[in-house]
Amino acid sequence: MELLTALRTHRIVAIVRGADADAALRTVIALAEEGLPLIEVSLSGQDALGVIRRARAALGPDAPLGAGTVLTAQDAQAVRDAGADFVVTPAVCEGVTEAKRLGLPVLAGVMTPSDVVAAQRLGADAYKLFPAAQAGGPGYLKALRGPFPGLPFVPVGGVDAEAARDYLARGATAVGVGSPLIGDAADGGSTDALRERTRAFLDAVRLPSDAVRTSPDAGR
């Protein structure tokens, strides 16, 4: 898949990490049905590989489906075999190297300028600024883009709808959102509430031109 194109188009990655594998699968499907196609299933969740396999079967071969918390070469191999077509790491690690060797695009976890340079050397496709809130929030993203103005950054960690707007306004390519979006849905909570939150986040990250195209008065 063209990860960078997808990030620029959709501007949000949902991070699913659940204590209930069946609920996590329902969460993935509900997100996709609500029009949020970039979804990462974290390996730190219950039976994550099984969730990825079942989600791939449910969503079909062409839907984007990522695997997160990929740390080792074995992790990268396992998620590829389960059906993931992009990889997300929390750091610059062996998972980046092996995923690239396998032909999978990588959103690599970085926090410092040194991390960014190291991830560049390994061929990262985009850069997950993590943990973004603890690093300094949108102000830190703005500072980091000074020496790296052309790189695609995706802040993750403590990103609610308001912060998502702020990060995107400061030049983020997309944002990664976990608990503020997922809530308790992946642990067995309400998918109806999840769907409402999904619509709110999609509104938050929508480009102004998208709003014009979807307006009832557009084209009159």
- Catalytic residue IDs: 40, 128
- With beta carbons less than 8 A apart as the criterion, state whether 180 and 160 touch: yes
- With beta carbons less than 8 A apart as the criterion, state whether 132 and 158 touch: yes
Phi-psi region of 15 (alpha: psi -120 to 50; beta: other; left: phi over 0): beta
- Strands 39-42 and 126-129: what pairing? unpaired
Q: What is the CA radius of gyration of the chain?
A: 17
Q: Comparing C-alpha atoms, which of 198, 124, 138, 140 is closest to residue 168?
A: 138
